[in-house]
């Protein structure tokens, strides 16, 4: 039995971004003793990078907005594959979550009459994104952290201990969800009960266990499996993999969002995001011939809603009630594909992107005031003054719509009692494509719900599950394996089938090969043969990752951390590739060159990924696929929600039989 420090909590929240912090606040306010654990510094979650704003139909700038319009836009953006009840709750509750942030001290930009200002974004019918310049995520995280500190001060007054009911473990990583005795996880419907999390401290390498009957996963996305990405180092799909390994399924992992506008130059910053607010505030896209090419790429399903001429598009900024919006504000998947086509047709910018211009659209001081981060980003990283010249931009892997399958109301993962998920790690809310601004609101709406239900579940238990000791020992051995591979490579082989028979692999090399594979073969435009190749390459990488070796010791050792993250990235990448190969249509963030159309029969299909590791042989043969796919029919959309759309529009999305029903 491994001897290590153990702490008991009611709820453990894995991740300290917007979703994790909102979940932790709710759980603690409901009386649960709550721990938050994050692998980066407290405050350095991905949420802090969010720029453009948070979508909520407050109607401050256009009183025509309300939750029904927001719901409708979200379903259109997701091409009707959204878990509709989530989209409904999200649209209904987002305004309250924004107003609540204000009561906790957030300072949003204002309209001239003093209301929270709201800006335009792609796919949103009205100006809907509450914002703080282009640094909205920073304000969101600052406010949630401030609320956490306030709760800790309350505890100090009551118990003489700031961390009595809410503690943050920063720079600590969870590598396994622990279950109670006898519940191993795998592919059964009854995946047992959660009992805690196995963790290590990044600085010291020390292992510890957080025991708790409820665990909320809020670990964000998977972008670091792709070479060109706006995501930072934490986004290695940990929560997705932890859920799979604990026996919970992932939903629709083929849907990965490639944001249309990442930096393309210089190479060291390729992929860094150029916020959509640049287009929301009037920026336009041009090709090397100076043409505003987006007018050539308005798909039929959106034709009625978008301007036909540049003049009409430009008038819309001043008079949205009598003009249609410019096609630069189409949903992200459409714009990303259009840019890709222009570059492929030889009309790209010198460094393989297209031009995004604000310099000819607004005065320099307005650019600096409304887009301060973009101004500095380009000045400092690319030596480009965006008030005087156009930016070069191209698609970058940005967000994953697929994620842990959750119950819409409670955020509970099916089949594993006590497991919850919220934020980018959870699937369903955004369907096949997320609208900009809908992530920050998603974090708050479902972070709150996850915290609430995780706390209620823990409070309702008579007997708490105790973690299985065998699982703790196995988690410790798994985490130490890369050091064994390192020793083996120096001639100290560990056995006939063990890592020592072949030289150890460098985790950085494996990571680079994985990123290149996913970028080239499962990227923005997908083909059957290439995805099959990707699956073969992933199998090879899985075998080699079993020999990922590191030198040195456990004190802050980034190579070791990456070796552990590789397991997660490989699992998640296999989910993406398998699901993308299976779905023979193009929809939202999933574009098949060999199946270019959207197929309404596929609208009824959700693809679930589960771990296939319990099957005979699969667990021991790393070359065998680890993911099993199943299809499930989507739940019919409630009639009163369908009634929000015109019949002609529904005909474009729904299957024949659904229309009859
Ligand atoms: P995160 O904020 O990423 O938090 C994840 C947390 O999990 C981190 O604390 C991390 O350390 C922790 N973690 C991960 N793995 C582990 C582990 N194994 N153990 C312990 N801890 C772990 N969305 C919008 O709606 N509006 C915008 O304007 C917007 N702008 C964006 C700009 C950029 C540059 C980017 C990259 C994204 C933007 N997004 C925006 C998307 C949005 O920011 C993210 O989807 C959202 O912040 C995700 O929040 P989260 O709480 O799910 O995860």
Nearest CA to ligand 1 atom 33: 50
What tens digit of pLDDT does each residue of 305-334 get? 899 999 999 999 889 889 999 999 998 889
**Is the preceding omega at residue 370 within 30 degrees of 0, hence cis?**
no
The pLDDT of residue 333 = 87
Is residue 76 part of the annotated active site? The answer reads no
In the prediction, which pLDDT does 463 show?
Answer: 93
In the predicted model, is pLDDT for residue 495 greater than 80?
no
Token pair, residue 313, equals 């598009």
The answer to whether 500 and 492 have CB atoms below 8 angstroms apart is yes
221 alpha carbon to ligand 1 midpoint, in Å? Answer: 7
Cα-based angle 582, 587, 592 (whole degrees, multiple of 5): 55
For residue 585, give both structure tokens: 């249509």
φ, ψ of residue 95 in degrees (nearest 5): -60, -40
- Tell me which of 661 and 616 has the higher pLDDT: 661
**368 vs 165: CA distance, rounded Å:** 43
> Which residues have C-beta within 8 Å of that of residue 443, sequence separation ≥ 6?
17, 18, 19, 22, 47, 218, 422, 423, 424
In angstroms, rounded to a whole number, what is the distance separating the alpha carbons of residues 525 and 508?
26
Q: Looking at ligand 1, which atom is closest to the CA of residue 52?
A: 28
- If one residue of 43, 137, 236, 450 were mutated to test the ligand 1 pocket, choosing by the most ligand atoms within 8 A of its CB, it would be 137
3-state secondary structure of 659: helix
Strand 419-421 relative to strand 214-217: parallel, antiparallel, unpaired? parallel
Q: What is the enclosing helix (H) or strand (E) of 549?
A: none
Name every residue whose Cβ is closer than 8 Å to that of residue 267 and which is 6 or more positions away in sequence.
Answer: none
Residue whose C-alpha is closest to residue 447's, from 174, 132, 93: 93
Give the 3-state DSSP-derived string for 580-615, with helices as H, strands as E and coil as C.
Answer: HHHCCCCECCECECCCCCCCCCHHHEEEEEEECCCC
3-state secondary structure of 392: strand
Q: Whose structure tokens read 């990488």? A: 541
Distance CA 333, CA 354 (A): 16
CA of 113 to the centre of ligand 1 (A): 32
Catalytic pick among 28, 332, 448, 567: 332
Q: Give the number of the atom of ligand 1 that is nearest the alpha carbon of residue 447.
A: 51
Cα distance between residue 51 and residue 532, in whole Å: 36
> What beta strand segments (E) does 68-128 contain?
118-119
State the span(s) of the chain assigned CATH 3.50.50.60. Answer: 5-255+401-469
ipTM above 0.95? yes
Name every residue whose Cβ is closer than 8 Å to that of residue 54 and which is 6 or more positions away in sequence.
94, 98, 129, 130, 131, 136, 140, 437, 440, 441, 444
Classified as helix, coil or strand, 310 is helix
Place of tokens 């659209």: 361
> Any idea which architecture 259-397 has in CATH?
Alpha-Beta Complex (3.90)
**What is the residue with the minimal CA distance to atom 30 of ligand 1?**
50
Angle between helices 558-582 and 507-521 (to 10 degrees): 20
Please tell me the residue having the least CA distance from ligand 1 atom 47.
Answer: 47
State phi, psi for 29 to the nearest 5 degrees: -70, -25
**CATH fold of the domain at 5-255+401-469:** FAD/NAD(P)-binding domain (3.50.50)
Q: Which residues contact 485 (CB under 8 A, 6 or more apart)?
A: 499, 500, 504, 505, 547, 548, 549, 550
d(CA 548, CA 552): 14
Buried b (16+ CB within 10 A) or exposed e, 199-210: bbbbeebebbbb
- Average pLDDT for the chain: 93
Query: Which residue's alpha carbon is at the smallest distance from atom 32 of ligand 1?
Result: 50
Cα–Cα distance between 520 and 523 in angstroms, integer? 6
pLDDT, one tens digit per residue, over 420-451 is: 999 999 999 999 999 999 999 999 999 999 99
**From CA 313, how far away is CA 307, in angstroms rounded?**
5
User: Pocket around ligand 1: residues whose beta carbon is below 6 Å from it?
Assistant: 14-20, 37-40, 45-47, 49-54, 136-137, 173-174, 218-220, 230-231, 234, 238, 273, 399, 423-425, 436-440, 443
Which atom in ligand 1 lies closest to the alpha carbon of residue 273?
Answer: 34
Residue 565 or 191, more confident: 565
Pocket test for ligand 1, best of 36, 50, 143, 421 (most atoms within 8 A of CB): 50
Ligand 1 center–CA 134 separation, angstroms: 16
Say yes or no to pLDDT of 620 above 70. Answer: no
Query: Which residues are within 8 A (CB) of 290 and not within 5 positions of it... i.e. 6 or more apart?
Result: none
> What's the pLDDT tens digit per position in 536-559?
999 999 999 999 999 999 999 999
pLDDT in tens, 120-133: 988 999 999 999 98
Q: How confident is the model at residue 114 (pLDDT cuts 50, 70, 90)?
A: very high
pLDDT over 50 (residue 1) = yes
Single out the residue of 435, 294, 398, 277 nearest to residue 355, CA to CA.
294
Lowest mean pLDDT among 234-238, 458-462, 488-492, 514-518: 488-492
**Pocket of ligand 1, candidates 440, 442, 566: which has the most ligand atoms within 8 Å of its Cβ, to mutate?**
440
CA 40 to ligand 1 centroid distance, Å: 11
DSSP-derived secondary structure for 142-163? HHHHHHHHHHHHHHHHHHS-TT
d(CA 211, CA 549): 30
Q: Which two tokens stand for residue 444?
A: 């708050």
For the ranges 205-209, 273-277, 382-386, which has the lowest average pLDDT? 273-277
Q: Which distant-in-sequence residues (6+ apart) come within 8 Å of 640 by Cβ? A: none
Q: What is the pLDDT of residue 278?
A: 92
> Cα(427)–Cα(406) distance, rounded to whole angstroms?
7
Q: Are 77 and 435 in contact (CB under 8 A)?
A: yes
Strand order across the beta sheet in which 129-130 lies: 54-55, 129-130, 118-119
Which element (helix H / strand E) includes 90?
A: helix 84-103
CATH 3.90.700.10 segments of the chain = 259-397
Widest CA span of the chain, in angstroms? 76
User: Residues 634-651, buried b or exposed e (16+ Cβ, 10 A)?
Assistant: beebeeebbeebeeebbe
């Amino acid at each position: 039995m491994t001897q290590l420090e153990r702490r008991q909590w009611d709820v453990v929240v894995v991740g300290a971004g917007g979703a994790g912090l909102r979940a932790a606040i709710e759980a603690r306010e409901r009386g649960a003793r709550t721990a938050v654990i994050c692998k980066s510094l407290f405050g350095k979650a991905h949420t802090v990078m969010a720029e453009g704003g948070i979508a909520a139909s407050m109607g401050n700038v256009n009183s025509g907005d309300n939750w029904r319009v927001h719901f409708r836009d979200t379903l259109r953006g997701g091409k009707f594959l959204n878990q509709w009840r989530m989209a409904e709750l999200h649209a209904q509750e987002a305004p309250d979550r924004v107003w609540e942030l204000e009561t906790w001290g957030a300072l949003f930009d204002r309209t001239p009459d003093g209301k929270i200002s709201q800006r335009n974004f792609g796919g949103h019918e009205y100006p809907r994104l509450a914002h703080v310049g282009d640094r909205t995520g920073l304000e969101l995280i600052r406010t949630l952290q401030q609320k956490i500190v306030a709760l800790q001060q309350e505890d100090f007054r009551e118990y003489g201990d700031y961390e009595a009911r809410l503690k943050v473990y920063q720079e600590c990583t969870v590598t396994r969800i622990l279950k109670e005795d006898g519940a191993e996880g795998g592919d059964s419907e009854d995946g047992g009960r959660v009992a805690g999390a196995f963790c290590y401290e990044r600085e010291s390498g020390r292992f510890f266990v957080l025991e708790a009957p409820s665990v909320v996963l809020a670990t964000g996305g998977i972008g670091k499996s792709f070479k060109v990405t706006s995501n930072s180092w934490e986004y290695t799909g940990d929560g997705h993999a932890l859920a799979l390994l604990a026996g919970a399924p992932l939903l629709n992992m083929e849907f990965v969002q490639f944001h249309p506008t990442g930096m393309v130059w210089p190479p060291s910053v390729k992929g860094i995001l150029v916020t959509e607010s640049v287009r929301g505030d009037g920026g336009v896209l041009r090709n090397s011939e100076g043409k505003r090419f987006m007018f050539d790429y308005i798909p039929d399903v959106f034709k009625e809603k978008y301007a036909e001429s540049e003049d009409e598009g430009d008038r819309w900024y001043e008079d949205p009630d009598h003009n249609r919006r410019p096609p630069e504000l189409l949903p992200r998947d459409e714009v990303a594909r259009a840019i890709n086509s222009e570059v492929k047709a030889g009309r790209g910018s010198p460094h393989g992107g297209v031009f995004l211009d604000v310099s000819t659209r607004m005065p320099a001081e307005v650019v600096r005031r409304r887009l301060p981060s973009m101004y500095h980003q380009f000045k400092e990283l690319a030596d480009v003054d965006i008030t005087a010249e156009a930016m070069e931009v191209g698609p970058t892997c940005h967000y994953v719509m697929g994620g842990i399958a959750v119950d819409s109301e409670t955020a509970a993962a099916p089949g594993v009692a006590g497991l919850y998920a919220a934020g980018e790690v959870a699937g369903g809310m955004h369907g096949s494509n997320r609208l900009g601004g809908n992530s920050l609101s998603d974090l708050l709406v479902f972070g709150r719900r996850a915290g609430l239900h995780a706390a209620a579940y823990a409070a309702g238990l008579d007997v708490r599950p105790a973690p299985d000791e065998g699982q703790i020992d196995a988690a410790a051995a798994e985490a130490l394996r890369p050091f064994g591979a390192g020793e083996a490579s120096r001639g100290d082989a560990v056995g006939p089938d063990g890592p020592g028979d072949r030289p150890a692999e460098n985790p950085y090399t494996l990571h680079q090969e994985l990123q290149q594979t996913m970028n080239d073969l499962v990227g923005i435009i997908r083909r059957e043969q290439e995805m099959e190749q990707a699956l073969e390459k992933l199998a090879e990488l899985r075998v080699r990752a079993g020999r990922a070796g590191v030198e040195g010791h456990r004190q802050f050792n980034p190579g070791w951390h990456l070796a552990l993250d590789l397991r997660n990235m490989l699992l998640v990448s296999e989910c993406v590739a398998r699901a993308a190969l299976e779905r023979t249509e193009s929809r939202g963030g999933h574009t098949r060159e060999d199946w270019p159309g959207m197929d309404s029969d596929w609208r009824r299909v959700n693809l679930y990924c589960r771990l296939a590791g319990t099957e005979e042989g699969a667990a021991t043969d790393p070359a065998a696929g680890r993911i099993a796919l199943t299809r499930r029919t989507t739940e019919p959309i409630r009639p009163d929600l369908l009634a929000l759309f015109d019949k002609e529009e529904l005909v474009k999305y729904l299957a024949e039989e659904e229309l009859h029903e």
